[in-house]
Structure 1
Amino acid sequence: MAAEELIEVKFRLHDGSDIGPSKYSSSTTVGSLKEKIISQWPKETENGPKTINEVKLINAGKILENNKTLAESRSPVSEIPGGVITMHVVARPPMADKNSEKMQDGSPKQSSCSCTIL
């Protein structure tokens, strides 16, 4: 059997800083990559993600699914052989989940406009 391919990946955060690069097995899942990102998230930043559901990974313009492997998520068209793959990290604040729970209580969304058209 051939040795499993290692893929070098770095993660670009919203402020332009990076986590990595590190080498990962091609069978590593996106969910486990997100766990790694959370564990290495800069401690000095406020409101860092706490769960993998608060993190989105984007590679070559596609949002990656947690259950897919790194091999399935690669975009060979945009990669340079032997180069480092840069994935963009978007952290969704946990407050977004609380707002969606309020909408599920059965009450219709009320929107009002205080605009006056003359």
Structure 2
Amino acid sequence: MSVVQDQLEIRFRLPNGSDIGPKKYTEATTVSTLKESILAEWPKELESGPKTINDLKLINAGKILENNKTLAECRSPICDLSGITTMHVVVKPPSLERGTEKDAAKNSKGNRCRCTIL
């Protein structure tokens, strides 16, 4: 009976509103393991998908979950209200190189129209 209580049923809500899961995980499962599972099951038809687990953020009950934490450590009282817990998945956009990011910001400021219409 304790084996059933130690398992959580989790569904992952993707940015486009579709879901992965639900699947059952033990409370000892780490957040990084969840992210690896999401990467493996990521729909191929979605553009701009994550490349690594570092491109993903998992949000549960308004908190961003840390990779090294287990589900037991991240669990909130909200999880106990229903049978399936929904975690939201956020994909980090591809980042620009540091130098180019500053150059792009500088150029965008320089290209503004400074006309005044009277």
Which TM-score band (shorter chain)? 0.7 to 0.9
Q: TM-score, structure 1 length as denominator?
A: 0.79
May I ask how many residue pairs the two structures share in their alignment? 111
Output the CA distance in 1 between the equivalents of 2:83 and 2:91. 25
Change (3 A) 1:72 1:53: same
1:30 aligns with 2:35: no
Q: Secondary structure at the match of 1:32?
A: helix
Q: TM-score, structure 2 length as denominator?
A: 0.79
Output the CA distance in 1 between the equivalents of 2:19 and 2:116. 49
Name the aligned partner's letter for residue 83 of structure 1. Answer: G
- Per the TM alignment, residue 82 of structure 1 is displaced from its structure 2 partner at its CA by 5.5
1:101 aligns with 2:73: no
Q: Larger helix proportion, structure 1 or 2? A: 2
Residue 40 of structure 1 corresponds to 41
Change (3 A) 1:73 1:115: farther
Residue 86 of structure 2 corresponds to 86
Residue 56 of structure 1 corresponds to 57
Q: What RMSD in Å do the two structures reach over aligned CA positions?
A: 2.4
- Per the TM alignment, residue 25 of structure 1 is displaced from its structure 2 partner at its CA by 0.8
Residue 76 of structure 2 corresponds to 75
- Per the TM alignment, residue 104 of structure 1 is displaced from its structure 2 partner at its CA by 9.1
% identical aligned pairs: 52
Name the aligned partner's letter for residue 92 of structure 2. Answer: R
Residue 19 of structure 1 corresponds to 20
Output the CA distance in 2 between the equivalents of 1:104 and 1:11. 32
Output the CA distance in 1 between the equivalents of 2:9 and 2:38. 14
- Per the TM alignment, residue 116 of structure 1 is displaced from its structure 2 partner at its CA by 4.9
